[in-house]
Structure 1
Amino acid sequence: MTLTDTKTPPRTVPIRALRMGPVSIRLNVRIVMVAGALALALLAAMALHVAFGGTPLPYPDVLRALFGDAGNPRTHLAVTEFRAPRMVAAVVVGAALAAAGAITQTVARNPLASPDLLGVTAGASFGAVAVLVIAGGGHAGLSGVAATIGMPVAAFAAGIVSGVAVYLLAYRRGLDSYRLVLSGLGISGLAASLTTWILTLGDVTSAAQALTWMMGSLNGKDWETVQPMALAAVVLIAAAMVSGRWLVLTSLGEDTAVGLGSRIGAVRLSVLTIAVLLASLATVIAGPVAFVALASPQIARSLTGSVIPPVGVSALVGAVFVLLADTASANLLSAPLPVGVATAVLGAPFLIHLLLKYQRRLS
């Protein structure tokens, strides 16, 4: 049984044209309104995250510090140097995973086709854990070069290899969503097994560091690590949004896209490459953070009434999701939980709901 969403009827949404001289841009009014509301929600969630990211700080002081007012030096230092990097990391992780999920679900025409289930996250995790364990073997921690260069490079490389392997295994005169999910599950299982094996090669300290990272954590982030990752995420998400027209073509199916003159193979390869890079980037920053890539695009699709998940709106949903999950995990229990655990707890019921929904639709 495949969960390909081919029975969803077209939805009527208000379209307006914005004309600036000879240039005319089509605007979906509902998407613009939802994006605006989510942008405001994101700003509020960012301030909430900083205010309750440890010892609670007065909300007005946090807002002033975020906008550059150094009225209270202690609050300003705590916000700008210690809490803001973690907040930006949460935004980048959530937006990157959600955008990657929107791309993969659109290309595969399958709501389960997220990087979590297609082997990309597991592959990137294997690459990062390999560096954490092997480079840290016999020492209390990683060297500076291994931590800042080796781990991101290994995670990106392993994530790309996993994505290519899944694509090649699923492609048979076209990209079938059922084969894509099955191939992703197989690559995920292989990467998970290799990760478990590599953990046995390291010493206790290195293995413990790797296991902590594998839970999905935003602890200890600083501007040196976050800034280049945030810049890369902005570029990749912008590229994905520019590719929106081609994403719509991929959602129409192989025959229809080819009939409209689209080089569907090249388009799929390009946008899936962006998705793999985004998922690998998020994994480098925080480790495996479950269900964000799966749930956020479907939430964005429901909010906007779109036939496919809009990449930009999905990114906003994902950023708010991770911010709120990290805030809740740091405050609701006596011992803070890794953000990956919090998103899994919140996302698992959504996965069950999604499975039941499409089971009813296909029955």
Structure 2
Amino acid sequence: MTVRVREWSVRVERRSTVVGVVLALLVIGLWLVALWPGNHVMTPGAVLNTLAGQGSISDEAIVYDWQMPRALTAIGVGMALGTAGAVFQSLTRNPLGSPEILGFTTGSATGALLSLTVLGPLALPTWFGALAGGVISAAVIYAVSYNHGLRPSRLILVGIGVNAILLAVNSLMISRADFYDAKSAANWLIGSLDGRGWSHVVPVAVAVAVLVPLTISRGPALRMIEMGDERARGLGLRVEGERFVLLALGIALISTAVTAAGPVAFVSLAAPHLAKILCRSGTRPLVPSALVGAVLLQASDIAAARATGHLLPVGVVTGLLGGIYLAWLVGRRAPLKQ
């Protein structure tokens, strides 16, 4: 189906549109559930009354100062992870080509960890450290992988190696940090949404509002690259230039997510694949991938909070699900073919 607005025309797939609407409604529903801290604190009716402007001062503090920033951060981080995962899996033409396996997520975590434990947040802001770490790791991986062209299989293998090195560097920094910095960094490296406030929501919201639409605008180029470099060049695409832009957008999205919630596992790996299944698409749809990412992270955070009373970080839940999912994915032969 083609939608035309004056001189502009956009091709819209009906199933993807329906899936996107359902996922958006599910995101809203989970957001409302996330605003409820549990019956031991306040009832669901009290949450609705507070949203309607009829809650008490204490209820407003719970909903607007505690629950809502955490829920909105989960949505933003989930969308960033889902979109970045779709970009990297399409560029590598492999469902295992997620940023956490390629080393980009770990690179962002290394930069953020460096600013937290070695230099101090006053010397280097955490967001800048995460962005710098992601950019440097991406540059190294890209440079080592490039040999008369970029082969997806080579990129994945180099990324796995760099990821292992960066994990060792992260462990070294934690082991040499003082006790309180090391404990804080170790908790952050698991991936957590605890204690998130409006100071976390605003930068995530701004970054997602800018980066996700920019990435979606490069969707046609991404789909052509996913068909193969030769075919893309035959269609007149400047492959290397578009790949560089998409890599930059993906790194920026990953850095945003890592700064806000730490290196949360699983979401960027699974969201694009699940979106592809739901939409029955030959490619990894960007908008559904972003929404699936938001659903996965919100649902995992709600499960973690309800099961343990906010004692279990969301990264533990997503890591557990990710291990099961990865074992199932590797067990299938078809997705591993180029």
Whether 1:228 and 2:203 are equivalent positions in the alignment is: yes
The answer for unaligned runs of 5 or more in structure 1 is 1-15, 137-141
Q: Conserved in 1, the CA contact under 8 Å of 2:77 and 2:204?
A: no
Specify the alignment match of 1:102 in structure 2.
Answer: 86
SS in 2 for 1:308: coil
Specify the alignment match of 1:267 in structure 2.
Answer: 242
Cα distance between partner residues in 2 of 1:172 and 1:267: 18
The 1:237/1:161 distance shift into structure 2, 3 A limit, reads same
Specify the alignment match of 1:331 in structure 2.
Answer: 306
Whether 1:51 and 2:36 are equivalent positions in the alignment is: yes
Amino acid at match of 2:46: D
Q: Conserved in 2, the CA contact under 8 Å of 1:54 and 1:330?
A: no
Specify the alignment match of 1:29 in structure 2.
Answer: 14
Q: Conserved in 2, the CA contact under 8 Å of 1:53 and 1:330?
A: no
Specify the alignment match of 2:5 in structure 1.
Answer: 20
Specify the alignment match of 1:4 in structure 2.
Answer: none
List per-residue Cα deviations over 1:110-159 (Å, max 9, x = no partner): 100011011111111111112221245xxxxx6xx35xx62111111011
Which of 80, 84, 87 aligns to 2:64? It is 80
SS in 1 for 2:3: strand
Q: Conserved in 2, the CA contact under 8 Å of 1:38 and 1:316?
A: yes
- Identity %, equivalent residues: 34
Cα distance, 1:53 vs. partner?
6.7
Superposition TM-score, scaled by structure 2 size: 0.94
The 1:42/1:75 distance shift into structure 2, 3 A limit, reads same
Which of 117, 122, 131 aligns to 2:101? It is 117
Cα distance between partner residues in 2 of 1:246 and 1:121: 23
Cα distance, 1:22 vs. partner?
4.1
Cα distance, 1:315 vs. partner?
0.6
- How many residues are matched? 337
Amino acid at match of 1:130: L
Cα distance between partner residues in 2 of 1:206 and 1:23: 53
Cα distance between partner residues in 2 of 1:361 and 1:314: 20
Cα distance between partner residues in 1 of 2:336 and 2:174: 42
Q: Conserved in 2, the CA contact under 8 Å of 1:47 and 1:59?
A: no
Cα distance, 1:174 vs. partner?
2.2
Cα distance between partner residues in 2 of 1:36 and 1:73: 35
Cα distance, 1:55 vs. partner?
4.6
Cα distance between partner residues in 1 of 2:285 and 2:178: 45
The answer for unaligned runs of 5 or more in structure 2 is none
SS in 2 for 1:51: coil
The 1:353/1:119 distance shift into structure 2, 3 A limit, reads same
Amino acid at match of 2:213: A
Deviates most, 293-302 or 22-31: 22-31
Specify the alignment match of 1:130 in structure 2.
Answer: 114
List per-residue Cα deviations over 1:256-282 (Å, max 9, x = no partner): 111111100001110111011111110
The 1:247/1:135 distance shift into structure 2, 3 A limit, reads same
Cα distance between partner residues in 2 of 1:341 and 1:116: 15
Q: Conserved in 2, the CA contact under 8 Å of 1:45 and 1:323?
A: yes
Amino acid at match of 1:357: R
Cα distance, 1:78 vs. partner?
1.0
Q: Conserved in 1, the CA contact under 8 Å of 2:329 and 2:335?
A: no
Superposition TM-score, scaled by structure 1 size: 0.88
Which of 317, 327, 332 aligns to 1:357? It is 332
Q: Conserved in 1, the CA contact under 8 Å of 2:330 and 2:336?
A: no
When you count helix as a share of all residues, which structure comes out higher?
Answer: 2
Specify the alignment match of 2:220 in structure 1.
Answer: 245
The 5 A counterparts of 1:192-341 are 192-333=167-308, 336-341=311-316
Q: Conserved in 2, the CA contact under 8 Å of 1:132 and 1:209?
A: no
Cα distance, 1:295 vs. partner?
0.3
Cα distance, 1:361 vs. partner?
7.6
Cα distance between partner residues in 2 of 1:167 and 1:360: 23
SS in 2 for 1:19: strand
SS in 2 for 1:24: strand
Cα distance between partner residues in 2 of 1:60 and 1:309: 39
The 1:60/1:254 distance shift into structure 2, 3 A limit, reads same
Cα distance, 1:235 vs. partner?
0.7
Q: Conserved in 1, the CA contact under 8 Å of 2:130 and 2:255?
A: yes
Cα distance, 1:52 vs. partner?
3.4
Deviates most, 103-112 or 171-180: 171-180
